[in-house]
Amino acid sequence: MTDVDLAIIGSGSGNSIPDDRFDDWSIAIFEKGVYGGTCLNVGCIPTKMYVYAGEVAETIRESARYGIDSHIDDVRWRDIVTRVFGRIDPISLGGQQYREDKCDNISVLHSHVRFAGTTDDGRYRLLTDDGDEVTARKVVIAAGSRSFIPEAIASGSAPFHTNEDVMRLASLPRHLVIVGGGYISAEFAHVFASLGTEVTIIARGDKLLRHLDADISDRFTEIASKRFDVRFNASVTGTKIGDEGAVVVELSDGSSVTADALLVATGRTPNGDGLHLDTIGVSLDDAGRVECDEFGRTAAQNVWTLGDVSSPYQLKHVANHEARVVQANLLRDFDGDDLDKFDHRFVPAAVFTHPQIASVGLTEAQAREQGLDVTVKVQDYGDVAYGWAMEDTTGLCKIVAERGTGRILGAHLIGPQAPTVIQPVIQAMHFGLDATSMAKGQYWIHPGMPEVLENALLGLDI
Ligand SMILES: Cc1cc2nc3c(=O)[nH]c(=O)nc-3n(C[C@H](O)[C@H](O)[C@H](O)COP(=O)(O)OP(=O)(O)OC[C@H]3O[C@@H](n4cnc5c(N)ncnc54)[C@H](O)[C@@H]3O)c2cc1C
Ligand SMILES: NC(=O)c1ccc[n+]([C@@H]2O[C@H](COP(=O)([O-])OP(=O)(O)OC[C@H]3O[C@@H](n4cnc5c(N)ncnc54)[C@H](O)[C@@H]3O)[C@@H](O)[C@H]2O)c1
């Protein structure tokens, strides 16, 4: 049995907690999977490397519009896979080796771990599947989330993929069917279609990216419906293996889709259910998240949590922010009155599909539901100089603000570089800058794409 000052469950954002302020703490990091967690290995980073390859392919395809004739000779899938993971795998391994070989105060245990109550002197008992027992004075639960697989697919006979393995397929599928109409679906549909795969999306509702502002989800749904075969209002009732190993996905309307591969992108389940949290008096909420307060404290003394396992926002920038808060709080008293708080006021998000999408704050519908006096301006990308130069016909920027005060309530963009273009609005909201001051109180580089923001702000009826 080993005794440590701090146990960290999960090497994603949890791995960023031990810095030099913790050099005299003994620390155990538990990781049952690949070191570095979801974002690095099977999430944000590799997906965006594929998205970039997809963007290059799309640029070539669209080049004739600008008087440049070009064509794609070949898509070397194996080389794309090698480029992506040839860069990522060494980073994961390097991070693991740094903790194992260079941090004398840290041990890494490569196993699933769970709680087993407390010792007589109040230390937390942690048992690994490998048979190790560790006791800890403080614990950080940073165990992330996993793909949710609908029962009809889990119990079907056809093989399926998730984000864990779809980026390492042996060859580029000719036809990919994706179940789900959210983030992961929108990003992978773009990637695979760009590289030449025929894509079918199975969506439960009548729109894609339904959680976004209606103008954005409507626009994306319209664009995606032209690019992919989208089956709306359809659920999967079963799967089977067809001729020559094909995947057959059976739908609630009696139809079926036959493809080479099936990708499941139907949300992510927090991993708190595998931790035996009842043994330390910590509960999961109705969504399966580890319950905590705004400081990251669970109901158990000196047990903290952060990221996908407990957060309503399954986003890396949120997990990282929460890790910084918990890191600062670990160095203080659990019951102190000087703890840092999670700041979830204006959490931005982006979907790296085509066109790119970014949003922050309230949708127009949410602002109206709150009874606010709302003013809205939708500005087309094509009406500002750079969007016009690109001959953009689909991009839009929507700003939602409060009439009278000019308080910015939300911003929603679909169009080239939307996740970059939106950043000044995120900053304005965080620092309390109103729409008029933001529009008129600074220069906007002409003819830069952020002029789409300037014009939207100026167009508000405040
Ligand atoms: C395909 C995809 C693309 C994404 N793209 C983006 C993006 O572009 N931008 C963005 O902001 N977010 C993105 N996300 C979300 C982002 O990856 C997550 O929000 C983030 O990685 C969560 O970090 P975390 O530290 O909470 O969990 P993780 O990084 O998942 O780390 C948790 C770790 O805990 C380990 N673990 C779990 N249970 C145990 C246990 N009992 N014992 C031992 N180890 C355990 C797991 O193996 C895992 O490695 C994406 C997610 C996916 C799936
Ligand atoms: N760019 C990014 O920041 C990024 C990219 C990818 C993933 N992520 C994170 O990962 C999370 C998970 O992504 P996701 O796309 O899996 O989830 P999601 O919540 O974005 O979308 C899930 C989709 O699956 C559908 N669905 C849910 N249950 C279903 C069922 N039983 N049968 C059929 N359809 C069902 C939903 O209606 C929805 O369309 C996201 O919520 C996001 O937080 C972020």
Question: Is residue 428 over pLDDT 90?
Answer: yes
**High-pLDDT (> 90) share of the chain, %:** 100
Question: Is residue 356 over pLDDT 90?
Answer: yes
Nearest CA-CA partner of 140 in 32, 8, 334, 52: 8
Q: How far apart are CA 375 and CA 366, in angstroms?
A: 13
According to DSSP, residue 154 is labeled H
Is any ligand 1 atom within 6 A of the Cβ of residue 43? Answer: yes
Question: Contact 143/304 with Cβ under 8 angstroms?
Answer: no
Q: Please tell me the predicted confidence (pLDDT) of residue 36.
A: 98
Report which ligand 1 atom has the smallest distance to the Cα of 274.
41
Q: How confident is the model at residue 7 (pLDDT cuts 50, 70, 90)?
A: very high
Residue pLDDT, tens place only, 274-322:
999 999 999 999 999 999 999 999 999 999 999 999 999 999 999 999 9
Q: Please tell me the predicted confidence (pLDDT) of residue 66.
A: 97
- pTM of the entire predicted model: 0.98
Residue pLDDT, tens place only, 99-122:
999 999 999 999 999 999 999 999
| Mean pLDDT of all residues belonging to the chain | 98
Question: Is residue 200 over pLDDT 90?
Answer: yes
* Catalytically annotated residue among 211, 344, 430, 446: 446
Q: What is the 3-state composition of the chain as percent helix, strand, coil, each rounded to the nearest 5?
A: 35, 25, 40
Question: Is residue 263 over pLDDT 90?
Answer: yes
Catalytic, 446? Answer yes
Q: How confident is the model at residue 1 (pLDDT cuts 50, 70, 90)?
A: confident
Q: Which residue's structure tokens are 């009406």?
A: 383
Q: Beta strand 2-9 with 133-141: parallel, antiparallel or unpaired?
A: parallel
Tokens of 80: 């794309």
Tokens of 456: 């939207």
Question: Is residue 397 over pLDDT 90?
Answer: yes
Q: What is the Å distance from ligand 1's center to 268 Cα? A: 10
Secondary structure class of 24 (helix, strand, coil): coil
Is any ligand 1 atom within 6 A of the Cβ of residue 296? Answer: no
Tokens of 196: 């030449």
ipTM entry: 0.99
Residue pLDDT, tens place only, 53-81:
999 999 999 999 999 999 999 999 999 99
Q: How far apart are CA 381 and CA 412, in angstroms?
A: 12
Mean pLDDT (whole number) for 333-341? 98
Question: Is residue 208 over pLDDT 90?
Answer: yes
Q: Which residue's structure tokens are 């690019």?
A: 227
Is any ligand 1 atom within 6 A of the Cβ of residue 31? Answer: yes
Q: What is the Å distance from ligand 1's center to 438 Cα? A: 35
Mean pLDDT (whole number) for 360-374? 98
Nearest CA-CA partner of 263 in 202, 342, 345: 202
Provide Rg for the chain, Cα atoms. Answer: 24
Is any ligand 1 atom within 6 A of the Cβ of residue 142? Answer: yes
